[in-house]
Amino acid sequence: MSTLVELVQHLGHPRVLVVGDAILDRYIFGNAERVSQEAPVILLRADHDEVRLGGAANVANMVRGLEADVTLAAVVGADRDGDVVRAELERAGVDCSAVFSDPSRPTTVKERFIGRAQNRHPHQMLRVDREVRDAVPEAIVDQLLNLVLSSLDDYQAILVADYGKGVCIRSVLQPIIQAARAKGIPVLVDPRPGQDYSQYHGATTVTPNRLETKLATSIDVKTPEDAFAAGKCLCDQLGLDYAFITLDSDGMALVRPDGTGQMLPTRKRQVYDITGAGDMVLAMIGVGLADGLSPVDVGRLANIAGGLEVEQVGVVPIRRDEILADLLMHERGAANKVLSLEDCRSQLEIRRKLGQKIVFTNGCFDLLHVGHVSYLAQAAAEGDCLVVGLNSDASVRGLDKAPDPPLFAEDQRALMLAALAAVDYVVIFDDATPHRLLDVLRPDLLVKGGTYDHDGIVGWELVEAYGGQVKPMGAVPGLSTTQIVQKLRVGATPISGPVPEPHFSKRPVEQAVSSIQRKAG
């Protein structure tokens, strides 16, 4: 996780060329009120409409959303819809100097009618396409190639988004692919469904989904072995450096020409709309390769970007800060939460850029019990990120209240804390006080559980001096490590009693633990 966070954090701003079919997506929203009196059809009372970029235009928009510089090479009609496509691209910051107008064809438009039943539950009722799928005229091909080939040195990657509307033909793609390969510029292709992919020969990689892979290789991809076999087939047929087989909820397979490869799994997500996921994957892989990342790393990042896309309704460009936030929230295990002070500082810098509030607490946590869990959950609910400073073994032995060695070693105590969903990071420290941690990490809020009042919280003056806040969290009556150890030594009955109900709006795991403890008591 830390490696991916660092890769995203240090991504540059490469220049990318997108070649393909530009599409305008138009949405008409309204209430599906009743059946028409004229015919047995639903009557849609439209209340607003939207236009969005589709096809290669959407890929360019997504590349731009990832903070790369991008030029689109495409063809639109000499019509009002073509003007809209150009305006939307320019508004997004995409270079349109290679977008050509063809008076002989309309701009490809997909018009969707979205109906709401009783002002809710929007569903697509009808889609109307206006398009010409014939190959673009030779005169347009010559203009496009002259412009693109003369400026190839300006780009660090080329993305081909083939939607079968006449731009991604052999006479366009082969000169670009061969020239790019000679210059060492990676070419990535998102192919259209079909059996003949020969126009992509010589590309660096392709990103077909299960259906596109089956149509091109006759291999039904159901297992990793199927994916590796299909990927090898594509590499052999097209002279690829490697292939990405996208496998929806199973992530993707990265396959090399010798048939070896690896599965790059993705996290399960709530899927709202799969539209645009393939475009987002292509954009993320393209930006990553353009910046010099490895195929494995760009595949892992593309899984995250594509996963975030399917959680959106409609086509929405995914930004770098959204990918960072997702990595920080989900792509880590307990062991990865235990960080050095410097690594923790770096992580918190990223979170601050995302506008997150940092909460800090510290202690020995020698015998983790429900009192700790309760107060850590309350502390986590005070912000977006909870950092726990953990006294090392040497530090524990130096405390007046703990003259004996700790019951559990520092690495064990750290791992137990890190296993709690409420805790984001654990930093072990040797000093008698957490002052150095507070000085380096500079949390927004310093909290402490137990019987401490404001002035009894060590470090309060340092935190408030730089503008932070300090807050006592209180204690669970009858629950402390000292009391538990004493009861265990004398063979007392199990400890029970009421556990306070913290606010668990963001921490459901601790809520479940609290409920179990209450029932057991």
> In this predicted model, what pLDDT tens digit does every residue of 429-465 receive, in sequence order?
999 899 999 999 999 999 998 778 888 899 999 999 9
Both 352 and 316 in a single domain? no
Contact 385, 351 (CB under 8 A): yes
What letter would DSSP give residue 338?
Answer: B
Q: What is the pLDDT of residue 371?
A: 80
Residue 301 backbone dihedrals phi, psi, to 5 degrees: -70, -35
For residue 279, give its domain range: 2-24+53-108+132-185+266-330
Identify the three-state secondary structure at position 15: strand
Contacts of 17 (CB under 8 A, 6+ apart): 70, 71, 73, 98, 148, 152, 154, 155, 157, 158, 159
Both 477 and 348 in a single domain? yes
Domain assignment present for 32: no
Find the CATH number of the domain harbouring 320. 3.40.1190.20
Confidence of residue 507 (pLDDT cuts 50, 70, 90): very low
Contact 281, 317 (CB under 8 A): no
* Residue/partner pairs of 338-344 with CB below 8 Å, 24 or more apart: 338/411, 338/414, 338/415, 338/418, 338/425, 338/426, 338/427, 338/428, 339/425, 339/426, 339/427, 340/427, 341/427, 341/429, 341/436, 341/437, 341/440, 341/441, 343/2, 344/387, 344/425, 344/427, 344/441
Q: Single out the residue in 330, 365, 384 at which a domain terminates.
A: 330
Name the token pair of 341.
């002070």
Contacts of 131 (CB under 8 A, 6+ apart): 106, 108, 109, 165
Q: What is the dihedral of CA 62, 66, 70, 72, to 10 degrees?
A: -10
Averaged pLDDT score across all residues of the chain: 87
Domain assignment present for 153: yes
Q: Single out the residue in 283, 298, 330 at which a domain terminates.
A: 330
The residues that bridge with 55 in the sheet, in sequence order, are 22
pLDDT(506) > 50 = no
Higher pLDDT, 22 or 451: 22
Domain assignment present for 476: yes
The residues that bridge with 117 in the sheet, in sequence order, are 120
Both 484 and 408 in a single domain? yes
Higher pLDDT, 300 or 498: 300
Average of pLDDT values for 351-362? 89
Q: What is the pLDDT of residue 521?
A: 39
Name the token pair of 36.
């028409």
Domain assignment present for 468: yes
Higher pLDDT, 476 or 425: 425
Distances (CA, A) of 199 to 71, 99, 256, 370: 22, 21, 20, 64
pLDDT(489) > 90 = no
**Which amino acid is residue 28, in one-letter code?**
I
Distances (CA, A) of 311 to 66, 233, 291, 322: 17, 32, 26, 12
- Percent residues over pLDDT 70 in the chain: 86
- Residue located via tokens 């668990």: 504
> In this predicted model, what pLDDT tens digit does every residue of 76-86 receive, in sequence order?
999 999 999 99
Domain assignment present for 233: no
Both 302 and 403 in a single domain? no
pLDDT(58) > 70 = yes
Specify the number of domains making up the chain: 2
Q: Kindly report which listed range (41-45, 61-65, 329-333, 494-498) carries the lowest average pLDDT score.
A: 494-498
pLDDT(496) > 80 = no
Annotation says 95 is catalytic: no
Q: Single out the residue in 330, 354, 375 at which a domain terminates.
A: 330
Confidence of residue 2 (pLDDT cuts 50, 70, 90): low
Cα–Cα distance measured from residue 23 to residue 130, given in angstroms and rounded to the nearest whole number: 10
Find the CATH number of the domain harbouring 516. 3.40.50.620
Contact 200, 168 (CB under 8 A): no
Domain assignment present for 122: no
Q: What is the pLDDT of residue 499?
A: 47
Confidence of residue 509 (pLDDT cuts 50, 70, 90): very low
**H or E segment to which residue 508 belongs:** helix 508-520
**The one catalytic residue among 81, 279, 291, 393:** 279
> In this predicted model, what pLDDT tens digit does every residue of 296-352 receive, in sequence order?
999 999 999 998 887 776 678 889 988 888 887 765 555 678 889 998 988 888 888
CA-based nearest residue to 423, from 485, 498, 487, 359? 359
> In this predicted model, what pLDDT tens digit does every residue of 387-435 receive, in sequence order?
999 999 888 877 655 556 677 889 999 999 988 889 999 999 999 899 9
Domain assignment present for 238: no
pLDDT(485) > 80 = no
Average of pLDDT values for 28-43? 89
Q: What is the pLDDT of residue 514?
A: 42
> In this predicted model, what pLDDT tens digit does every residue of 66-112 receive, in sequence order?
999 999 999 999 999 999 999 999 999 999 999 999 999 999 999 99
Q: What is the pLDDT of residue 502?
A: 45
Name the token pair of 56.
């290669």
